[in-house]
Chain A
Amino acid sequence: MTGAEAQSQQAPAVLPEQDHTKTELLIAVIARMLDGLGHVAVGASSPIPGAAALVARARAKQFLRVSVLASQRHNDFTDGGRELFDCAAQGRIDAFFLGGGQIDGQANVNLVGLGDYPELDVRFAGSYGSAYLYFLVPRVILFRQEHSRRVLVPKVDFISAPGISPPGIYRPGGPHALVTERCVFSFDRAAGRFTLQSIHPGDSLESVRDNTGFDFDCPAQVAETPPPSGEILALIRGQVGVGIAEVYPKFARKVWGIG
């Protein structure tokens, strides 16, 4: 181990709140959405939601169970890949996270590709568990860091999972919020529309509108997203960073120089 590596493994000092990064802000924003829940599951390609879940667990007044896909240490499932899905169908998972190559104003998500299926112009990885978990987990938080008209579109090219369902379709779950690099939207399932909830420092209503391809509701006054507290920042830079490095080593190295 070099000196630099040894140094990077020490718990970082608590920095002033104004010195937080965008990544840390997003982790804190998502962590606040998990307050009071009993079981949060984290799926594939989700380092920021995963870190947020670990923050929420560390701060929970009552016990919060966190199940991180592909983790040995933060995952107590013993019945293989299917157990998460079986748990979700039984109502044992309170929150989950989905991303999307495209997300539209009705909260439809597209994880398959761009163009006319099956002759796609751009192919994404695939739908993962979205077509199922979106229906069954009460609080699905959409997270997509890139906030542009390329991603937030009027209508997705392929619906991996629909944001809303007609009456009569079994659907205890669905979208709760959409978090991006610019803002937080909440989602009204009855109306099938997003409402701007808060704008991150550095962005404005104008920049959000300019970069959003779908129509959304907006209150007269939109709050600024509050910064992470010093306590949350210390958590993020300490045990949470180390914890998430198990599954997302590249992310932890890039953001905190861990590992």
Chain B
Amino acid sequence: MNGIVVVTVEELVARIVDGAMVAVPPDYSFVAMAATRALIRRGARDLHLLAVPQSGIQADMLIGAGCVALVETAAISLGELGAAPQFTAAVKSGKISIRDSTCPAIHAGLQASEKGLPFMPLRGLIGSDLLRVRDDWKVSENPFKQGDQIVVLPAISPDFALFHAPFADRNGNIWVGRRRELVTMAHAARHTLVTVEEIRDINLMEDEGLAGGSIPALYVTALAEAPNGAWPLGLPGEYAPDDAHLAYYAKQAKSDDGFQDYLVEHGA
């Protein structure tokens, strides 16, 4: 082993201190749901959750369980199953703050961070109320074309990126295939914490076919094995979402009692 830090899922999430900014991927990417349940069990508080660029059941559970103070996102939804009930209720009651964004603005902020830049320009946005309510976004001028207004966004530097992946190698390199928002997240975050289906006794960097779809261990602070760790979400290429369970969650989360029962039933 080559500087790789392998811990349990509990030890992994214990590193996420209260108040930290945690970046997570969307439901159709590689979401660390086993770690999310562990984070709820450990009673995390005041997290600044950054959805890259949107989230679903993961954000809804963390918000409902009282782990989140601020969510920055382009959207939170359970997709075909409708609104995310705990998110919706928490925003309405003022239990959490929301920093409304749009998908490419979150990607751009992370891209600024991965380049070590203070900001990133982005097209669009001018005339949107998002620009009005986001006092950290500014309208600037294209320095190369007079009169061309363009929005500039501050770099987003998460304390942690948290996601799941099909496998890591013996050196802690993580294979993510085409889910490259995870690469951007890992580059931008100070610490990247990963759960994987399994750690394989291979070296990803010796395989040209796999190396390009990998995040090198230099970005990875720690990893944990968590078989079926994206459940009840799917892990594209590995297993499908558990649609019946997700529908059950959507039903339970509509009431606080139902949500609390769900957490107890499912070890969170």
Contact = CB atoms under 8 A, between A and B. Distances in A.
B74 A80 contact: no
B contact patch SS: mixed
Interface stretch (B6-14, B97-105, B197-205): B97-105
A135 interface: yes
Contacts of A222: none
B55 to A, nearest CB: 10
A82 B102 contact: no
A159 interface: yes
Interface residues of A, number: 49
Of the candidates B76, B100, B181, the one having the most CB atoms from chain A within 10 angstroms of its own CB is B100
A161 B181 contact: no
B242 to A, nearest CB: 12
Contacts of A47: 80
A185 interface: no
Interface in B59-109: 73-77, 79-81, 83-84, 87-88, 91-92, 94, 98, 100-105, 107-108
B107 A82 contact: yes
A166 B79 CA distance: 34
Given A118-B133, A123-B92, A126-B73, A136 B123 contact: yes
Interface stretch (A1-9, A27-35, A71-79, A192-200): A71-79
A127 B134 CA distance: 13
Contacts of A131: 102, 105, 124-125, 128, 130-131
A223 interface: no
A125 B107 contact: no
B84 A133 contact: no
A160 B178 contact: no
A233 to B, nearest CB: 23
17 contacts: A44-B77, A78-B178, A80-B107, A81-B52, A82-B107, A82-B111, A82-B181, A126-B54, A126-B77, A127-B128, A131-B125, A132-B122, A135-B123, A160-B128, A162-B128, A166-B127, A250-B81
3 nearest interchain CB pairs?
A80-B180, A126-B75, A132-B124
Interface of A: 44-45, 47, 69-70, 72, 77-83, 85, 89, 111-112, 117-120, 123-136, 158-162, 165-166, 168-170, 248-251
